[in-house]
Structure 1
Amino acid sequence: MMHSKYKNKDSIVMENAGIRAEFLPDPGGKMVSLINKKTGYEYLLQRENERYRDQPFDGVFVEGECAGFDDMFPTIDVCEYENEPWKNIKMADHGEVWSLPWNYQFKDDSLHMSVNGARFPYTLEKKICFTGEDSIRMYYTLTNNSAFDFEFLWAGHLMINIEEGTRVIVPDDCKQAITILTNGNGKFGDLRDWPNFRDMDGNTYRADISRPENVKGFEKYYFNNKLADGWCGLEYPGNKNKLTIAFPVDTVPYLGILMNEKGWDNLYNIIIEPCTICYDRPDVAKKHGQVSKVKAFGKYNWYINLTI
């Protein structure tokens, strides 16, 4: 591990024989780069701006850097907390932790990072270490520092580079998808058979394979089931690169996908979102019978493992 610079920000680089990973303690404790050293491929979306696009706390996520791998917690969409003693307190856009500075320290060949809540009494920690020449893992611990249960949404917001023909691979039980955002054929809450979607002209296309840039597609959905196995994979054309994302289904049981074929912000990328609940906000998820919570003075644990 070593200190470095990412654009104008102080960063930390972790490197082994196969992977170079880079993190920003401030803001967000986020992973900004993940490079396959054998092929030179950068998996995480990079912006062309020379200076990092900062946003203040409670700012607008998409007006910030909006790249790399952010933690979305305790919501994605802006909403209000529903339960006492925090009833009607605003939950910030894309959550709190992406815009906050994280503390960090090096310990036992691992990077330890942590952040305390701004409007809610929690501590979110992650321990980052290599689990092999081709894999890196982030162990998360959420601690509730209050005498009341705390309901939340956590999603890993991995903005990943793709090429035309990149294939999304998911477990066999992922058969139906719930539409969240689309510029195609559908509306919020629509249930669709995956991977055969329809575009605005009514033509069927494969949602698991990235299309040419000129289609200007934009589609976000969640799979309509708790996963039996916690993983999602990307296979790139020519089989030179591959990325597998793994997570524990007992605490992170859902998976979201956003395929962006230059339909938003002229970007060509995919967002993979392992998550504790769907629908982008805890109150809406609760209406659909989905709740994730950490008990009073309790802890909630999960991990994300990235294998190249």
Structure 2
Amino acid sequence: MSPAALTDTLSLENEQLSVRLRPGQGAKLCSLLDRRTGRDWLIPSQLPGGVYLQPTCGDDFSRFDTSGFDDCFPTVSACKAPGMDIQWPDHGELWSRPWEVTREGASLLARIDGQAWPYTFSRRVSLEGDTLCLDYTLDNRADRPFPNLWSAHPLLKVSPGMKLWLPGSPGSAFLNAPSDPAFGSHGEARPWPELLPGVDFSTVQPRSLGRAVKVFFPRVQEGTCGILEPQSGEALTFTWNQAELPHLGLWLCYGGWPDDGRPGHLTVALEPCTGLPDRLDEAAEGGTCLMLPPGGRAAWSLRLRSHHLHSRS
């Protein structure tokens, strides 16, 4: 079938779930609705009136809708590409550009070619019962190795008291460029879940906390994490192959971002990723990014299951 127009919102649904995406805004997943409960797991546009503006490559991510599920690639934080004269923009170059999205049977295939480097990035979206399936491929069409990192960026709709669970029993988390010195310094290990004295960050905090922080759990031993609403038992569980996605980032925003005078957001993002930290140049220096050979292909998958649990801590 022909690709969707850039202004379209495309959707898939079954008896359990409905998912919508916006081809013109980076093929953003703008809704993941559990049709049985009415819970949408993704936050809507944070702009006045809930509008979606059309960004261009290189724009400041914080000035746009800051919502839904974007793909951050080939970096998260803006930086100079290692070993080449390319400046990768804030949150990468995919979220701000239109994608080609084609409906193929019961799935949506979204693809885009690189702007500053010859690559092709694709994501197939499908539903299997209560599970959203995301299947990715990346092709390096250059005659040189391609250093890159990908991170999921699902901004979840949360409320205070919801519970987070993480792979295994992480004893510490590593800070990623914290803007608030109360947390510590970039790269510093902090005890999990007490990132600040007396605050249990495995429980979603109120917006009034006025803090935001990004941390990493490197080399996860188990490819699963999730969030739970204890009273209702509603849960969203992420699963992946840790050989494909060896790291996990966690963005916790409890009124502390944006920090330019606008109201702070209330959201959490569980971010399986191919590399860390958020700056590709640092990841390349530390050997923690994906180095795709000339003509090479990488593939990975992520599953998000909306279901019910009686309890999980």
What is the TM-score of this pair, normalised by structure 2? 0.90
- Cα distance between partner residues in 2 of 1:173 and 1:23: 34
Displacement of 1:187 in angstroms is 2.0
Match of 1:248 among 241, 257, 263: 241
Displacement of 1:4 in angstroms is 10
Displacement of 1:212 in angstroms is 2.3
Match of 1:276 among 274, 277, 281: 274
Distance 1:4 1:108, change over 3 A: closer
| Conservation of the 8 A alpha-carbon contact between 2:239 and 2:304 | yes
Q: Residue deviations 1:111-161, cap 9 Å, x none? A: 111000000100001111112x21010100000111111010100001001
| Conservation of the 8 A alpha-carbon contact between 1:78 and 1:90 | yes
In the other structure, the counterpart of 2:37 is: 39
* Superposition misfits of 4+ residues, deviation over 4 angstroms: none
Alignment partner of 1:175 is 2:171: yes
Alignment partner of 1:162 is 2:158: yes
Displacement of 1:173 in angstroms is 4.4
One-letter amino acid matched to 1:249: Q
How many residues are aligned here? 295
- Cα distance between partner residues in 2 of 1:95 and 1:187: 24
Q: Residue deviations 1:223-255, cap 9 Å, x none? A: 1x3112212110113134210111221121100
| Conservation of the 8 A alpha-carbon contact between 2:113 and 2:119 | yes
Displacement of 1:34 in angstroms is 0.6
Matches within 5 A, 1:142-157: 142-157=138-153
In the other structure, the counterpart of 1:205 is: 199
Displacement of 1:50 in angstroms is 4.0
Secondary structure of the structure 2 residue equivalent to 1:106? strand
- Cα distance between partner residues in 1 of 2:124 and 2:232: 31
| Conservation of the 8 A alpha-carbon contact between 1:9 and 1:52 | no
Deviates more, 1:214-223 or 1:68-77: 214-223
In the other structure, the counterpart of 1:124 is: 121
CA RMSD of aligned residues (A): 1.9
Displacement of 1:284 in angstroms is 0.8
- Cα distance between partner residues in 2 of 1:112 and 1:182: 37
In the other structure, the counterpart of 1:65 is: 65
One-letter amino acid matched to 1:64: F
One-letter amino acid matched to 1:264: W
| Conservation of the 8 A alpha-carbon contact between 2:216 and 2:248 | yes
One-letter amino acid matched to 2:183: N
Displacement of 1:28 in angstroms is 0.4
Identical aligned residues as a percent: 27
In the other structure, the counterpart of 2:213 is: 219
One-letter amino acid matched to 2:200: R
| Conservation of the 8 A alpha-carbon contact between 1:54 and 1:65 | no
Would you tell me which structure has more strand in proportion to its own residues?
A: 1
What is the TM-score of this pair, normalised by structure 1? 0.91
Q: Residue deviations 1:63-118, cap 9 Å, x none? A: 111100000000111111122xxx12111211111111111212231111100000
Displacement of 1:29 in angstroms is 1.1
**Which blocks of at least 5 consecutive residues in structure 1 are unaligned?**
none
In the other structure, the counterpart of 2:261 is: none
**Which blocks of at least 5 consecutive residues in structure 2 are unaligned?**
259-263, 307-313
Match of 1:109 among 106, 111, 117: 106
In the other structure, the counterpart of 2:76 is: 76
One-letter amino acid matched to 2:249: G
- Cα distance between partner residues in 2 of 1:18 and 1:145: 39
Displacement of 1:182 in angstroms is 4.7
| Conservation of the 8 A alpha-carbon contact between 1:4 and 1:13 | no
In the other structure, the counterpart of 2:191 is: 193
Q: Residue deviations 1:258-283, cap 9 Å, x none? A: 11111114211101211111110121
Q: Residue deviations 1:12-55, cap 9 Å, x none? A: 01111111110111120110101111110111011252431222
Secondary structure of the structure 2 residue equivalent to 1:214? helix
Matches within 5 A, 1:226-245: 226-245=219-238
In the other structure, the counterpart of 1:56 is: 56
